[in-house]
Amino acid sequence: MKRRSQLSALAVASQRGRICRTSALLALLLFVMTLPTWAQVSVRVQAPSEVIEGDRFRVSYVVNTQEIDNFTVDKWEGVEVLYGPSTSRSSSYSMINGKTTSSSSTTFTYTVNAEKSGTFRLPAATATVDGKAYKSGSPSITILPSGSGGHGNSGTQQGQSQGQSHANSQANRMHTQDVGEKITGKDLFIAVTASKKRIFEQEAVLLTYKLYTLVNVTSLDGKMPELDGFHVQELNRQRQPELKMEHYNGKNYGTVVWSQYVLFPQQTGTLTIPEIKYEAVVVQQNRSADPFDIFFGGGSMVQEVRKTVMAPAVTLQVDALPTPKPDNFTGAVGKFSVSSSLTPQSLKANDATTLRVVVTGTGNMKLMSAPPVAWPKDFESYDPKMEENTSIGANGSTGKVLFDYIAVPRHQGKYELPPVEFCYFDPDARQYCTLTTDAYTIDVAKGKGGGTSSSAVSKEDIELLNSDIRFIKTGTPTYQTGDSALFASRRYWLTYVFALLVFVAIVVAFRRYAVANADLARRRGRGASKAASKRLKAARKLMQQNNATAFYEETMKALWGYVGDKLNIPVSELNKENVRERLSERSISASLIDQFLATLDECEFARFAPGDPAATMDKIYAQAEQVINQMESELRKK
């Protein structure tokens, strides 16, 4: 009985312990859920930047808290509110290394109809939290007139998920032509604009190449040729240019700024930038394709068509800079400021001092020369060192250029360094401007070895002596004994043996490096299937989250990564032609190669193709998984 009562007591104590632990966990969870929001309350607006007259679209106001006392929206202009607001809430909690963070938000969504064309401002929203009002911004929206081109409809806009990007929604507006339909110059063209048509020599001018399209363009390839009489710099563009809608000649085109160049003319007169040839790839719809053939890999719903697009030539009138040019003109054209510093200002004879001149501004900063510095007569000076820290922009190079001048005083005394003059041409004011730095007083004390004698030899004197009689070396001479020759000595043979050992070590190291590279290629090939499987798993998660853009990118990475690793193809050489050739060399069946490349094509096109995104993602995922498995099976047999 006593043992049984002890066991009962132990059971009760254990149960009480479990209850206490459970209560503690519940208390911790409640504490986390009731954590206050320390972040500043904000109200953000989510809406497209342009729509077409008559389209329905959504405007969402996101407040980063759920504790909202009141929510109001100002008056709407240019649009008709169909219904709303619909309210949705979201919360998230995370614990990393014992640190708990939480976030929550409330979204108010309005569905509106674009009533009339023009540029309007969306109304600002006001959310009241804890008695304090927080107001959103009021972004502008452009409503394009209805017209041909840009075949969007209200159903497409209404069916978009909140997370879909605006660029993709605009891309879906492009007209998908039928196979065989002619692509005219009104369907696809490039317009070229210059920021100025008349400029001065060395003045920056911006050339913009803008694509206008009514069809689905998947790629565009073209490059500015070498230009005589110009210094050319290309502006860095986005990795994936954003497609925007624009009403032009009665049609709604999808537009994108494809490339921009900043030109600095080096000659005067009438200069012409020639035409640029672009090669575009347009996707057309194959409506006559048999769905059963497509399902079994015997066809495709789309077809790529190549179209040559010519960007027109541009003529510029380049005027010469006014004459006479000032003697101190540095060749700089633009708008600049100048500053300077001298370090040190107090030094000893035969020590160096550095004058730094900093030119800041916008213009042809890479093409200017260093301004001259009038050092005192007893100073030995050297050519300036130039350091550039600029970035290219629409008006030229912006930033600063540093000129470092080094000089060495040869005698003690007090010297005056006059201001440095920087002369440039201002194209807006159409005149030369001169800026000056501060003047400096340099105190030079007596240095080692004297430095006070007026008969000291300068650098110019040394160079003159060297051309006639070698200058006599001063200081304590060093002597060499007769038995200190290196040849056939112990040091000579040790040096010879050491060099031989170093040579052998280098040969062995290179051999090991080559073997390691070969092993690396084999390891890449063996792990290609595993790496592709990981990427496909990640793509499947993105598909379940209905994140179409990220899904297609991850699927393409899986396909390209598999063939690159399996066939040991460098990324720089990874293209469809090389893949087809290398797979053919490995005796892969032509049908499987075509199926692999067709899957890549469909994946590239899927982001712009109309229809149900979820169904398209399922289909492409199944094709990608099947073609990788089949290719892995065939490659193992070889």
199 is a domain residue: yes
pLDDT at 252: 87
Helix (H) or strand (E) holding 206: strand 205-213
Q: What is the mean pLDDT of the chain?
A: 79
Structural domain contains residue 185: yes
Candidate from 83-87, 152-156, 201-205, 588-592 with smallest mean pLDDT: 152-156
User: Hey, is 496 helix, strand or coil?
Assistant: helix
pLDDT of 422 above 90:
yes
pLDDT score recorded for residue 477: 64
Query: What are phi and psi for residue 514, nearest 5 degrees?
Result: -65, -40
What is the rounded distance in angstroms from the CA atom of residue 241 to the CA atom of residue 254?
Answer: 12
* Residue 154: band (very low, low, confident or very high) from pLDDT cuts 50, 70, 90: very low
| pLDDT at 169 (0 to 100) | 46
Asked if 284 and 368 sit in the same domain, the reply is no
Poorest-pLDDT segment among 38-52, 159-173, 327-341, 345-359: 159-173
What are the φ/ψ torsions at residue 382 (nearest 5 degrees)?
-130, 165
> Residue 26: inside a domain, yes or no?
no
What percentage of residues in the chain have a pLDDT greater than 90? 31
- The reply to whether 184 and 227 lie within a common domain is yes
Interval 15-26 mean pLDDT: 51
- Edge-to-edge order in the sheet of strand 440-445: 346-348, 440-445, 413-417
pLDDT band at 38 (very low <50, low <70, confident <90, very high): very low
Based on the fold, state whether residues 282 and 393 are members of the same structural domain.
Answer: no
Residue 545 has pLDDT above 80, yes or no: yes
**Residue 198 corresponds to which amino acid?**
R
Percent of the chain whose pLDDT exceeds 70: 75
- Average pLDDT over every residue of 292-300: 55
pLDDT at 636 > cutoff 90: no
Instruction: Please state the domain count of the chain.
Output: 4
Mean pLDDT confidence for 490-494: 81
Whether the predicted pLDDT of 482 surpasses 60: no
Residue with the larger pLDDT of the pair 113 and 528: 113
Same domain, 567 and 434: no
Q: What confidence category does residue 431 fall into, taking pLDDT thresholds of 50, 70 and 90? A: very high
Residue 466, domain member (yes or no): no
What is residue 271's predicted lDDT score, i.e. its pLDDT?
93
Confidence (pLDDT) at 37: 41
Q: Tell me the chain's radius of gyration from C-alpha atoms.
A: 37
Q: What is the largest distance, in Å, between two alpha-carbon atoms of the chain? A: 123
Higher-pLDDT residue of 370 and 553 is: 370
Task: Give the domain CATH number at 75.
Answer: 2.60.40.740
Residue type, 366: K
**For strand 251-265 and strand 244-248, is the pairing parallel, antiparallel, or unpaired?**
antiparallel
Q: Indicate the residue among 445, 463, 488 that finishes a domain.
A: 445
For 98, other C-beta atoms within 10 Å of its C-beta total 5
Q: What is residue 400's predicted lDDT score, i.e. its pLDDT?
A: 94
- Assess if residue 256 is contained within a domain: yes
Mean pLDDT lowest for which of 124-133, 216-225, 236-245, 603-612? 603-612
Indicate if 361 and 251 belong to the same structural domain: no
Q: Which two tokens stand for residue 298?
A: 């015997």
In this structure, are 200 and 274 located in the same domain?
yes
Q: Are residues 257 and 315 in the same domain?
A: yes
Is 501 inside a domain boundary?
A: no
**Domain C-terminal end among 293, 319, 345:** 319
Residue 460 above 90 pLDDT?
no
Mean pLDDT computed over 290-315 = 74
Q: Looking at residue 9, what is its pLDDT?
A: 41
Length, in residues, of the chain: 638
Give the per-residue pLDDT at 170: 47
Residues 281 and 403 placed together within one structural domain of the fold: no
Residues 187 and 231 in one domain: yes
In a domain, 475, yes or no: no
Domain span including residue 432: 334-445
Query: Which pair of tokens denotes residue 32?
Result: 């986390």
Residues 188 and 305 in one domain: yes
Residues 555 and 428 in one domain: no
Q: What is the mean pLDDT of residues 369-394?
A: 91
CATH code of 185's domain: 2.60.40
Question: Is 108:84 a contact under the CB 8 Å cutoff?
Answer: yes
403 pLDDT more than 70: yes
Judge whether 167 lies within some domain. Answer: no
Boundary (domain end) residue, out of 262, 294, 319: 319
Cα separation values, 419 from 371, 382, 438, Å: 11, 18, 5
Question: In the prediction, which pLDDT does 101 show?
Answer: 73
DSSP for 67-123, written as a single string: --SEEEE----SEEEEEEEEEEEEEEEEEETTEEEEEEEEEEEEEEEE-S-EEEEPP
pLDDT digits (tens, 9 = 90+) for 573-621: 778 888 888 888 888 888 888 888 888 888 877 765 555 556 678 888 8
Q: pLDDT tens digit string along 512-531?
A: 777 666 555 666 667 778 88
Query: Could you give the 3-state DSSP secondary structure of residue 39?
Result: coil
SS3 content of the chain, % helix, strand, coil (to 5): 30, 35, 35
pLDDT at 1: 41
Q: Are residues 99 and 206 in the same domain?
A: no
- Per-residue tokens: 370: 């260093």
Lowest mean pLDDT among 91-100, 119-128, 149-158, 400-409: 149-158
Domain of 606: which CATH number? Answer: 1.20.120
